[in-house]
Structure 1
Amino acid sequence: MQTILSAAGLGGGMTAARPLQGRVAIVTGSTSGIGLGIAEALAGQGAAVVLNGFGDPAAIEATCRGLSAAHDVPVRYDGADMADAAAVAALVERTRRGVGPADILVNNAGIQHVAPIEEFPPEKWDAILAINLSAAFHAIRAALPGMKERGWGRIVNIASAHGLIASPFKSAYVAAKHGIVGLTRTVALEAAAHGITCNAVCPGYVWTPLVAGQIAQQAAARGLPEDEVIRQVFLAERPTRRFATIEEIAATTAFLCSAGAASITGVALPVDGGWTAH
């Protein structure tokens, strides 16, 4: 695998302005959307970052260069297929060899499909559980031993409000996100004595290309115009009546990686505009 940027010059000391200086972060599903926002937030706090995901190679390389130049940190890309258990473990190992052992793991990779259960393609069910749930398990399993050896680690699983409540037509996604919340709590209990925290961020609807696609799918499934789907489905139960922003999710994730969040573990934190407060 090609290393986009060298890890040379990675500093070891932390400062107040760059509290993650010297840390190494893997962010899966980070070539766009929420994952890229999280990667930028962590880089802005001084962490070396490994991006992962799909996209145009030239655009990804430009993203790596831009993040590195903007924040003066090493940034590299790893194209591991998150649906492949061996590839996920290899991502963690390549990061260790090429940048340094992972101190921060953000499991963000995810896909979606919307359909009634009786019409839900089994292959879509399998793919969603593999990428949205099993990939997080495989990455944690690979990264946790090193974190325990060093006595420090931050694991943040990007779940969803659908990890706490359900919606129609999203059987696989809801099942996977509920599973992520359960996995988060189990890892938190196992890792707490080793200076490692594990938390889940549960966004409500965030305006991203993934959500835009969901709006179109929901419109087709419900026979409604897209603006009505936004009003009646996406924002109906959200007291703020607006989509969350990528920046808000990124800031929450970065906080959970900070020293100030050292006693926060095993939490499924809604960032949903009050949706799950009902």
Structure 2
Amino acid sequence: MELGLDGKVVFITGAAKGMGAAISRAFAREGSALVVTGRDVAALEILADSLRASCPKVRVLTCSCNITDPADVHGAVRKAESGFGRIDVLVNVAGGTGPVGKTAWETSAAEFEEIVSLNLTGCFNTMRAVLPGMIERRYGKIVNVGGTFGMRGRAGRMSYSASKWGLRGLTKSTAIEAGRHNINVNIVAPGMVDGDRFRNKVVPEAMARLGCTEEEAIAHHAADYALRRISLDEDVANACLFLASDVSRQISGVDLPVDGGWAAV
């Protein structure tokens, strides 16, 4: 299936590492022009070099961007539009986990506000910055990376869950408002993704709790999913490609879980 992403200008937040880097690589392979943004400029340059090495024709612009600062976001968007003339696709990957293992009454106001500012307000800032240009051109795709804890509550993750539930509301309402301008706005909701946090925190904690091997801990975690396997960064990246393409032209305002069936069971 031809996705038609060749030449599209894609603005990606939180692009430097992990899921963001995997998503950047996926768009580069499709021939998209990339604006990779984040706070770690050195890591962004390393990513850009690796993209150019693997996809010699790719056009990549690196841009420092703190999504919690509206002025910084607008500056990054202006730089992207100056460099490439437009932004066709926004992929909001940047985010954080917030306090883990704390109840609502144990969570401080500062902890709550910090993660909501990053996971929810940060996406509002980037969407608000790119939408005028998309509306003017009558074309745009926005893909917000949420999470399945924004679809099901989770004890000990109240702040994170609240931020991702809020992101769903932001996405769905904006999808209704922007639809008449030929703009699609959707959410990709990953479950647990195999990566540094899973391997270095989740799995060791399960090994200690269950008294089992690493392989057994992974299998125990995977048993919660209908497909009995943990998602990969590439699974999330492929979902982002789909929702950023015109193949999904009639899909807007939806949550697409990429979680092996956890949210469905």
TM-score (norm. length: structure 2): 0.88
The residue aligned with 1:197 is: 184
In structure 1, C-alpha distance between the alignment counterparts of 2:119 and 2:198, rounded to whole Å: 15
Q: For 1:111, which of 96, 110, 118 is the aligned residue?
A: 96
SS in 1 for 2:202: helix
Separation of aligned partners in 1, 2:200 and 2:94? 16
Name the CA distance, whole Å, in 2 between partners of 1:196 and 1:17.
20
Residue 67 of structure 1, aligned match among 26, 51, 73:
51
- RMSD (Å) for aligned C-alpha atoms: 2.5
User: Residue 213 of structure 1: CA displacement?
Assistant: 5.9
Q: Deviations over 1:136-155 (max 9, x none)?
A: 00100110111011111110
Distance 1:148 1:246, change over 3 A: same
Q: Aligned partners of 1:209, 1:165: CA distance in 2, in Å?
A: 24
1:78-136 deviation per Cα after TM superposition (whole angstroms, max 9, x unaligned): 12112222212222122111233211000110111303123324332222111111010
Give the letter aligned to residue 169 of structure 1. Answer: G
Q: Aligned AA for 2:59?
A: P
> 1:271: Cα distance to partner?
1.1
Alignment of 1:16-27 (within 5 A): 19-27=4-12
The residue number in structure 2 matching 1:273 is 260
Question: Match for 1:259 among 228, 241, 246?
Answer: 246
Q: Is contact 2:33-2:59 (8 Å) kept? A: yes
CA–CA separation in structure 2 for the residues paired with 1:85 and 1:211: 32
1:175 and 1:236 mapped to 2: Cα distance?
26
Are 1:164 and 2:151 an aligned pair? Answer: yes
User: 1:133 aligned to 2:112?
Assistant: no
Distance in 2 separating the partners of 1:82 and 1:154: 18
After superposition, give the CA deviation of every residue in 1:171-209 in whole Å (9 maximum; x if it has no partner): 111001111111111111111111110110011111122
Query: Structure 1 residues 56 and 223 mapped into 2: Cα distance closer, same or farther (>3 Å)?
Result: farther
Find the counterpart in structure 2 of residue 246 from structure 1.
233
Partner amino acid, structure 1, of 2:50: G
Q: Alignment length, in residue pairs?
A: 260
Distance 1:148 1:214, change over 3 A: farther
C-alpha separation in 2, matches of 1:274 and 1:40: 25
**C-alpha distance in 2, partners of 1:56/1:92?**
16
Report the alpha carbon displacement of residue 229 of structure 1 after superposing the two structures with TM. 7.2
Amino acid at match of 1:165: R
Matches within 5 A, 1:74-223: 74-112=59-97, 113-117=99-103, 118-212=105-199, 215=202
- Consecutive unaligned residues of structure 2, counting only runs of 5 or more, are none
Shift of 1:167: 1.2
What secondary structure is seen at the aligned counterpart in 2 of 1:277? coil
**Which moves more between the two structures, 237-246 or 33-42?**
237-246
2: CA distance, partners of 1:188 / 1:217:
40
> Secondary structure of the residue that 1:189 maps to in structure 2?
helix
Q: Gapped runs of 5+ residues in structure 1?
A: 1-15
Contact 1:114-1:217 within 8 A present in 2 as well:
no
Whole-Å Cα distance in 1 between the matches of residues 199 and 137 of structure 2?
A: 41
Counterpart of 2:101, as a letter, is A
What SS does the aligned partner of 1:269 have?
strand
Name the CA distance, whole Å, in 2 between partners of 1:236 and 1:190: 40
Is the Cα–Cα contact under 8 Å of residues 215 and 230 in structure 1 kept in the other structure?
no
